[in-house]
Structure 1
Amino acid sequence: MNTRYFTLGLALAAALLAGRAHAQAAPADPAATPETKRLLSNLYKLREKGVMFGHQDDLAYGLTPEGQRWIGEPGRSDVKSVAGSYPAVFGWELGHVELDSARSLDAVPFAKIREYIKQVHAQGGVNTISWHLDNPHNGKSAWDTARTVQYILPGGPDHAKYVTYLDRLGNFLGTLKGAKGEAIPVIFRPFHEHTGSWFWWGEKNCTAAEYKQLYEFTINYLRNTKKLHNLLIGYSPSDVETPAHYLARYPGDGYVDVLGFDAYYSGDGSAYKKTMATNLPILAQVAREHRKLPALTETGFERLPTADWWTKTLLPIIADYKLSYVLVWRNGRPDHYYAPYPGQTSAADFKAFTQDKRVLLEKQVAPLKIYSKNL
């Protein structure tokens, strides 16, 4: 064997692999900011270290050891109180920003959400945003199921109203600035759980073509009209049956950076385990083929009545998949929470879960400076 040519062959192969990895890490937005590019590239690399754990509204409110609510206490976090660190990923909800409201639909002041997003960025964590926007056709909630999308697309009678909604959303997103005035990168996840039909953008409430057109118009407007280039876009259906089903309403690689799905544990967990066994392989396949970042964008077990749910159910399910992050829902009320608080039944098991080397909290991620340098 000619060692010179063998060495050149290895170098070429390495270069091709590096090029492929670079292509995978390129944001869908060609004009993405440098910080946004670095974040996405580093999120790919972090998958080799483990899966980041996330919690919705983690800094905004939670529950005391007595099971009562705490709201807006500086530095407080149920995850931190139990595990000794903030989560690596923080979810925020912008529903009602489109109404020019002072508070989100979960009653968190938008001024505080802005502060929290800036805090997370400064600490080295990751922010992800959902948007349960009210129905722009009839003024009802996101959970209204009247046919709507056809009326708000370009040329529709409610299109101008929807554009107003986008202006208000974009104006808020445009205020997310770091210490040096840089736009803070966020994962923005619009029109989620669309394979269900409980939202007005759901599968039975609009055609696939209408959904795609709405998605494309929304992202194009935020990029081109509102000049927002700090958004990584998340696409996350609920339960699907096949890769074709997953992609049936996919707007295209030019509009998506993160692929995920939402699934919640209930009852004896049999449906959840079946959903995971079906959806995680589909997610892995589609993410690989489309060179996108895979994540479990929403999950959890309401009130966590099972003491060992974290290590015996969630961890084994996700262990074989190189997910970017797993986000559990909010601790909104004593009867509606998804992360443990001190003294809660699953608190000790959650601490063990977070101490597993495959699970990353902010304390593991922050020192890597994922916005300012490449890993």
Structure 2
Amino acid sequence: MKHAAARLMVSFMFCTGIGYAQIPLSDTKATKETRALYSNLQKVQGKGVIFGHHDDTAYGIGWALKDSSDVKAVAGIYPALYGWDVAKMEHDSTNDINGVPFETQRKLIQEAYQRGGINTICWHMDNPVNGQNAWDTTQNSVKNILPGGPNNEEYKDYLKHVARYLKTLKGKDGEAIPVLFRPFHELTGGWFWWGAKTTTPQDFIALWQYTIDFLRKKQKLHHLVIVYSTADFNSEQEFLERYPGDGYVDVMGFDLYCTKNVDQYTDRLHKQLGILQTVADAHHKLMSIPETGYQGIPDTNWWTNVLLPQLVKFSKLSYIMTWRNATKEHFFAPYPGQVSAADFVRFSKSPNIIFQNRITPLNIYGKAMNE
């Protein structure tokens, strides 16, 4: 009876999420490195929230396309998560939407991977219906690019272009580099052509499923961890209204930015994290904040007084990512001399936050990195 009870307890631990590697990837053919990443992201839960920065090693304040990082220049360490954008790849452009050559982006992704870091990719995709940018809000664009629609071939061409690029992301042994892939982000907002004001929930769900199926089944991409990322929402129902199903999602999250009303940000962040945690638990998915930050960071203690307390309260968060450092008017991570730099250093040393120095030793891809 004692041994039977012990076996029952072990089984119970894994079924209820106390154990490790209990959540399988939605892609049953995922590569071993991708499976290892997803498994180890689960092991990290409760030990700290992984910190990321978009385009971190591509450019920053006063520099571009050289071996640098504003995060490292301030904190002495790289972020653990690196964000990228494949927008304009759909047109075979040599540069991404922010002017970074894709050849350079590929190199930086490989370097981040070799350090043991994590790469995440979004796609501010131009509208396949009319060639306008992602912020075009032509009605029913989604319906028009679905199978049977007049612009389905154009959309398939977009997907083929990006798939070809994703296939080139290789480690030093030729293995596919795992990517947290975040399509159609901020989907509950109304500012993108795929957003809530331009398409029905049914058509959006059909687009998401079609896209992931095309990449997996037609393009044979099995190194993608799929991230479902909304904008604002006020209830579980609103968050899930356009949810494409558990077979098409691995990580749930939302994008939320701080404005001059810091109290409003704190309240909204707390409310949405509470809803997200309930939904993620129910659907057995990881939770994240794929985009956040405070443009210009005028609050000298924003990192430890505003952001950190919420991350401590919701320790099951897998990761957060601040947006890019483009100019002195548009930046979301401190640079040397910026007013929040000292507080960012304190933030980086918190046991509740994971930067590159803490994630490399975890061997999250199932093998030693940084060689």
Q: Which TM-score tier does this pair reach, normalised by the shorter chain?
A: over 0.9
CA distance in 1, matches of 2:11, 2:133: 51
Correspondence 1:236 to 2:229: yes
* Contact 1:25–1:37 (8 Å) recurs in 2: no
CA distance in 2, matches of 1:253, 1:373: 28
Aligned match of 1:349: 343
CA distance in 2, matches of 1:290, 1:354: 31
Correspondence 1:198 to 2:191: yes
Does the residue aligned with 1:211 lie in a helix, a strand or coil? helix
Aligned match of 1:61: 59
Equivalent of residue 135 in structure 1, options 118, 127, 132? 127
Deviation of 1:178 (Å): 0.6
Aligned match of 2:173: 180
CA distance in 2, matches of 1:254, 1:352: 39
Structure 2 counterpart of 1:58, one-letter code: D
Aligned match of 1:162: 155
Deviation of 1:48 (Å): 2.7
Correspondence 1:310 to 2:308: no
Aligned match of 1:100: 92
Equivalent of residue 14 in structure 1, options 1, 10, 14? 10
Does the residue aligned with 1:11 lie in a helix, a strand or coil? helix
Query: Aligned pairs, how many?
Result: 364
1:320-331 matches, within 5 Å, as 320-321=313-314, 322-331=316-325
CA distance in 2, matches of 1:100, 1:7: 61
Deviation per CA, 1:75-111, whole angstroms, max 9, x where unpaired?
Answer: x111111111100000001111101100011111111
Aligned match of 2:30: 32
Aligned match of 2:138: 146
Equivalent of residue 120 in structure 1, options 88, 112, 118? 112
Aligned match of 1:359: 353
Deviation per CA, 1:254-305, whole angstroms, max 9, x where unpaired?
Answer: 0000111000000122331221121001110111111101011110000111
Structure 1 counterpart of 2:325, one-letter code: N
CA distance in 1, matches of 2:328, 2:296: 8
CA distance in 1, matches of 2:179, 2:54: 14
Aligned match of 2:201: 208
Summarize the Cα distance change of 1:23–1:46 in structure 2 as closer, same or farther, 3 Å threshold.
Answer: closer
Does the residue aligned with 1:176 lie in a helix, a strand or coil? coil
Which segments of 5 or more consecutive residues in structure 1 lack a partner in the other structure?
Answer: 64-68
Does the residue aligned with 2:258 lie in a helix, a strand or coil? coil
* Contact 2:255–2:290 (8 Å) recurs in 1: yes
Deviation per CA, 1:15-42, whole angstroms, max 9, x where unpaired?
Answer: 2322554674311001001110000000
Deviation per CA, 1:144-184, whole angstroms, max 9, x where unpaired?
Answer: 11121011000000000000000001000010111111111
CA distance in 2, matches of 1:52, 1:82: 17
Using the size of structure 2 for normalisation, the TM-score is: 0.96
Aligned match of 1:45: 43
Aligned match of 1:66: none
CA distance in 1, matches of 2:7, 2:49: 30
Deviation of 1:9 (Å): 1.1
CA distance in 1, matches of 2:22, 2:211: 23
* Contact 2:14–2:22 (8 Å) recurs in 1: no
Greater displacement, 135-144 / 18-27: 18-27
Deviation of 1:8 (Å): 2.0
* Contact 2:95–2:101 (8 Å) recurs in 1: yes
CA distance in 2, matches of 1:358, 1:318: 8
Aligned match of 1:276: 269
Does the residue aligned with 2:129 lie in a helix, a strand or coil? coil
Does the residue aligned with 1:140 lie in a helix, a strand or coil? coil
Does the residue aligned with 2:188 lie in a helix, a strand or coil? coil
* Contact 1:24–1:292 (8 Å) recurs in 2: no
Structure 2 counterpart of 1:251, one-letter code: P
* Contact 1:38–1:373 (8 Å) recurs in 2: no
